[in-house]
A and B are shown apart, each in its own frame.
Chain A
Amino acid sequence: MKDELITRHEKLGGTKLEKFYSWLNSIYQSYYNAIVPEKRYLLYLDGIKITILISLLAIALGVVIGVIVAVVKVSANNSKMKWLSKICNLYTTVVRGTPLVIQLLIIYNLVFNSRSTNAIIVGAVCFGFNSGAYVAEIIRAGIESIDRGQMEAGRSLGLNHVKTMRLIILPQAIKNILPALGNEFIVLIKETSVASYISVVDLTAAAHLVASRTYDILPPLIIIALCYLIMTMGLTKILSIFERRLARGDRH
């Protein structure tokens, strides 16, 4: 009796379309629920703000650490520097050899246990500390790609080692390493998604917050995936503009 009814109903036509419409409607409803009620979009926006803030701070810190470590590594030629270089080697080995989440938790618990600290700052410091090791290796490769004669020419003019690095070697190295460096920045932005481990309400944490209200995790995940994609695509665009500008200076 029931089966008969359904087949009769299907014979009337439009059922497939109806099903499709109701499917579409449920999707619309679940995404609507994930975004609009209780101003949930504000959660994503705040999450994006935090993610961008952590990423920018971490990139800045990572570059500073990376440049210093790389310069120490390539400049280690006397005994005093060898000692420093060993510390830098230890740093890159440990950071590159242990999981980021573990580093994050260790640093967070180290700091958080002693006094209540801004988790965002802890996160940024941790991601910067981590990124610095990778950036250092990238910059070291870039410095080593510059002809030895450039350093000699700088030194022969009376510039000291640090000035020659800053004025002559690094500006040329940057051009060679920009693609690799951009890649590292993109990885960094994505890696900040584990910041919620230390109770930072970043973009990923925002998705979890929304899901805890709607009991539907998939829509918020898709939404933040798109947000990450847009951020990394934006960064890629900025970097390629920057690259082109540097290359133009080359052809002049």
Chain B
Amino acid sequence: MIVTKNLQKAFGDHVVLNGIDETINKGEKVVIIGPSGSGKSTFLRCMNLLEVPTGGEIWFEDNNITDKKTDINKLRCKMGMVFQQFNLFPHLSVLENITLAPVNLGLMTKEEAESKAVELLKRIGLAEKAAAYPNQLSGGQKQRIAIVRALAMNPDVMLFDEPTSALDPEMVGEVLDLMEQLADEGMTMVVVTHEMRFARKVATRILFIDEGKIVEQNTPDEFFDNPTHPRLKEFLSKIL
């Protein structure tokens, strides 16, 4: 579904991604972990071109998204993204946050979008917050609504960029539970996170990125129980 070929990204002289070849297939739940500054967030943000790579190619559903002629806006509709800082639109109500994109892109009528939004809000138990504004919500509620906002576009893949890192500890659970539900429903997911328990439980594959390269990848059990690369061993010994 997503293929990267020799993906490179540099900010000036600072090389962040140093040749990443990776294929993410439909239905996979790929968790990316790595020390800070390793390039894991940049890798994720390249997948929907929020960061423009300085070299290599990215293919999404047989479209080369690094090709200038590709209509990236159309492809982004199929790739939901969830941010560390939620990035809800503070001047719009929860309902408007969710319906804004589908309505303005002409994908749904206002009525369709609203009924879909209400349905999604009901699912996460926040239907009564439809008219509320983002600054009246807790961090966990904001992030769950940000997830719902992305889901309202009916994406084929969901990208999560450290979705729980900005949350108070007691709110992490509700967000991870929702992500786990999504995973159980078969959503293709790419998740950058520090939540190792979530990675172990939900991931089908874990990538370890260090200094702009994937140095090791494996199934969760093997990844945590039998790490081979010394850098990964060191990393796991520090955090587990």
Bound Cα distance from A175 to B89, whole angstroms: 14
In the complex, what residues of A have CB within 8 A of residue B73's CB? 155, 158-160
Bound Cα distance from A163 to B132, whole angstroms: 24
A14 sits at the interface (CB 8 A): no
Return A37 CB to nearest CB of chain B, in Å: 55
Query: Could you tell me which residues of chain A, from 105 to 148, have a CB within 8 Å of some CB in chain B?
Result: 147
- Picked from B91, B93, B153, the residue with its CB within 8 Å of the CB of A175 is B91
The answer to whether B87 and A152 have CB atoms under 8 Å apart is: yes
In the complex, what residues of B have CB within 8 A of residue A249's CB? 91, 133
A150 sits at the interface (CB 8 A): yes
In the complex, what residues of B have CB within 8 A of residue A156's CB? 48, 50, 76, 79-81, 83, 150
In the complex, what residues of A have CB within 8 A of residue B101's CB? 154, 157-159
B149 sits at the interface (CB 8 A): yes
- Picked from B88, B90, B105, the residue with its CB within 8 Å of the CB of A158 is B105
Interface string of A140-184 (1 = CB under 8 A from B): 000000010110111111111001000110011001000000000
- A interface majority secondary structure: helix
Return B72 CB to nearest CB of chain A, in Å: 9
Interface string of B37-59 (1 = CB under 8 A from A): 00000000000101000000000
Return B132 CB to nearest CB of chain A, in Å: 8
The answer to whether A158 and B50 have CB atoms under 8 Å apart is: no
Query: Could you tell me which residues of chain A, from 20 to 49, have a CB within 8 Å of some CB in chain B?
Result: none
- Picked from B77, B91, B149, the residue with its CB within 8 Å of the CB of A172 is B91
B226 sits at the interface (CB 8 A): no
Q: Closest A residue to B96 by CB, please name it.
A: A167
Give chain A's interface residue range (CB within 8 Å of chain B): 20 to 34
A4 sits at the interface (CB 8 A): no
In the complex, what residues of A have CB within 8 A of residue B81's CB? 152-153, 156-157
Taking A159-B105, A249-B91 as given, write out 20 further A-B residue pairs in contact, using a Cβ cutoff of 8 Å, ordered by the A residue number.
A147-B87, A152-B50, A152-B81, A152-B83, A153-B81, A153-B88, A153-B89, A153-B146, A154-B89, A155-B76, A156-B76, A157-B77, A157-B81, A158-B77, A158-B153, A160-B73, A172-B91, A175-B91, A250-B90, A250-B91
What are 17 A-B pairs with beta-carbon distances under 8 A?
A147-B85, A152-B81, A153-B81, A153-B87, A153-B89, A156-B76, A156-B79, A157-B101, A157-B153, A158-B153, A167-B100, A172-B89, A172-B91, A250-B91, A250-B135, A252-B93, A252-B132
